């Protein structure tokens, strides 16, 4: 039996190791994502191209590859890999916080009506004949509006019972899905755009989209992390958390707002990518346990890795065409998840 202090430090070392491993893995997966495609580009070429981008220092590199490679890496694949990473991170961290908040393994950003609200916004933009540029904006707007609406409905005497929140989210989610179906039914010509958007995909990833998503993720992830102590205590029950000095109701509000913005940003640039928010936190939980102090950062990185990998698969599996990544995440992610669930069930606590 080890001493408590030794245990405390060994836990910290284990977590540090996991995080370093995940960061390296993420880097490797990102390079892989940039390598493969209609033209394969070697890792050393990719690193050289990166090196070249640094002002002054980069001038010394001897270019030994076709000029077009630079543009493939910098203008096409890098923004796509980055966007995949950001969206994966955002969905995973939101799912993680939702599951903690609701103490419910089924919770995900989509349960609160975020996805169908966003889909409704996108369908509305298309139906109104608005320019493509408005589609993500509408998606974002309606995703966040839905969450606030769900929140307002569930509020009784300034408290928001978790069960009511979950139920009204599911109800509103179905309502918006019906509205989307209705619109699809009437929007015969625009159908393809909406359907593609609802399947979720990272095609047409541009630096502009990265620039929209990056600041939100960079701000939201540390904020979620700061709330990990609250989330841990709330896992033991809301009254327990209150007795440990936590302001439960305001914590709920903050988490909902953060999730709405994070998922809104993801949905706006990539459509409805299913299952990432649901399964990534569970996968992370299997390896690092229920403590949000490690679960949140681990989910963030596993989410990034997962979406880069699945998107790489989505755009290479039927080359030169590509599949919506949402199909791949469900098709490959779910069986993998079920396998893990079966194998390590006892460690998850759910």
Partner 1 sequence: MQLSVSSLNFSFPTKVVLRDVSFSAHSGEVFGIVGPNGSGKTTLLRCLRLVLSPQGGAITLDDEDVMTWDRSRIARVFGVVPQSTTLTFPFSVFDVVMMGRIPHLGRFQREGAHDISIVRESMKLTSIDHLFERPISQLSGGELQRVIIARALAQEPRVLLLDEPTSQLDINHQFEVMKLVRSFAIEHNMVVIIISHNLNLSLRYCDRLLLLKDGGVHSCGASDEVLTPDNIREVYGVEAQLDYNKRIGAHQLTLIDAIERD
Contact residues toward partner 1 (CB under 8 A) are 1-2, 4-5, 7-8, 103, 226, 229, 232-233, 235-237, 239-240, 242-247, 289-291, 347-350
Give the nearer residue to partner 1 in terms of CB position, either 196 or 289.
289
In the complex, least distance from residue 326 CB atom to partner 1, rounded to whole angstroms: 30
Residue burial 26-38, b: 16+ Cβ < 10 Å; e: rest: beebbbebbbebe
For 154, phi then psi, to 5°, come to -80, -10
What does the DSSP 8-state code read for residue 244?
T
Minimal distance in Å, beta carbon 100 to partner 1?
10
Q: How far is the CB of 3 from partner 1 (least distance, A)?
A: 9
C-beta of 128 vs 156, nearer to partner 1: 156
Which residues are bridge partners to 269 per DSSP? none
**Residue with smaller CB distance to partner 1, 214 or 223:** 223
Of 36 and 235, nearer to partner 1 (C-beta) is 235
We find the least distance from the C-beta atom of residue 240 to partner 1, in angstroms, to be 5
Hey, which residues does 156 pair with through a beta bridge? 159
Least gap, CB of 247 to partner 1 (angstroms) = 5
Q: Closest separation between CB of residue 258 and partner 1, Å? A: 16
Q: CB 4 → partner 1: shortest distance, Å?
A: 5
* Cα distance between residue 262 and residue 259, in whole Å: 5
Long-range contacts of the stretch 318-322 (C-beta < 8 A, 24+): 319/37, 319/38, 320/38, 322/201, 322/203
Give the separation between CA 7 and CA 17, rounded to whole angstroms: 15
Least CB distance to partner 1 at residue 291 (A): 6
For partner 1, the closer CB: 114 or 241: 241
Nearer to partner 1, 9 or 336 (CB): 9
Do residues 98 and 227 touch, judged by C-beta distance below 8 A? no
**Nearer residue to partner 1 within complex by CB, 11 or 317:** 11
Task: Supply angle C-alpha 197, 304, 119, rounded to 5.
Answer: 20
* Six token digits for residue 341: 């669930």
**Which of 236/319 has CB closer to partner 1?**
236
Q: Of the candidates 326, 301, 320, which has an alpha carbon nearest to the alpha carbon of residue 25? A: 301
Q: Show Cβ contacts of residue 152 under 8 Å, excluding neighbours closer than 6 positions.
A: none
φ, ψ at 159 (rounded to 5°): -120, 150
The dihedral built from the CA positions of residue 158, 161, 162 and 167, taken in this order, carries a sign that is negative
């Amino acid at each position: 039996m080890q001493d408590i202090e030794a245990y405390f430090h060994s836990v910290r070392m284990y977590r540090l190791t996991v995080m370093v491993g995940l960061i390296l893995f993420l880097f490797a997966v990102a390079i892989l994502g940039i390598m493969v495609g209609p033209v394969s580009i070697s890792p050393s070429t990719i690193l050289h191209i990166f090196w070249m981008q640094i002002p002054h220092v980069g001038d010394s590199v001897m270019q030994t590859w076709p000029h077009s490679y630079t543009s493939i890496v910098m203008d096409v694949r890098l923004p796509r890999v980055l966007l995949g990473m950001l969206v994966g991170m955002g969905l995973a961290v939101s799912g993680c916080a939702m599951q903690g908040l609701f103490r419910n393994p089924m919770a995900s950003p989509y349960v609160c009506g975020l996805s169908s609200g966003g889909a409704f916004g996108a369908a509305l933009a298309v139906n109104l004949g608005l320019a493509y540029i408005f589609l993500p904006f509408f998606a974002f707007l309606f995703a966040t509006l839905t969450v606030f609406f769900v929140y307002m409905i569930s509020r009784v005497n300034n408290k928001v019972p978790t069960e009511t929140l979950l139920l009204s989210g599911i109800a509103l989610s179905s309502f918006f899905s019906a509205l989307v179906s209705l619109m699809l039914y009437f929007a015969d010509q625009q159908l393809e755009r909406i359907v593609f958007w609802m399947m979720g995909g990272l095609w047409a990833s541009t630096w502009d989209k990265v620039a929209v998503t990056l600041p939100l993720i960079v701000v939201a992830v540390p904020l979620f992390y700061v709330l990990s102590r609250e989330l841990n205590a709330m896992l033991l029950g809301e009254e327990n958390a209150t007795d440990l000095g936590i302001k439960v109701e305001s914590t709920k509000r903050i988490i909902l707002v953060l999730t709405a913005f994070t998922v809104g940003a993801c949905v706006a640039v990539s459509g409805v990518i299913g299952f990432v928010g649901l399964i990534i936190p569970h996968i992370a939980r299997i390896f690092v346990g229920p403590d949000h102090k490690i679960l949140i950062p681990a989910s963030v990185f596993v989410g990034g890795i997962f979406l880069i990998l699945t998107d790489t698969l989505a755009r290479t599996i039927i080359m030169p065409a590509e599949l919506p990544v949402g199909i791949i995440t469900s098709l490959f992610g779910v069986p993998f998840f079920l396998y893990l669930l079966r194998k390590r069930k006892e460690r998850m606590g759910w």
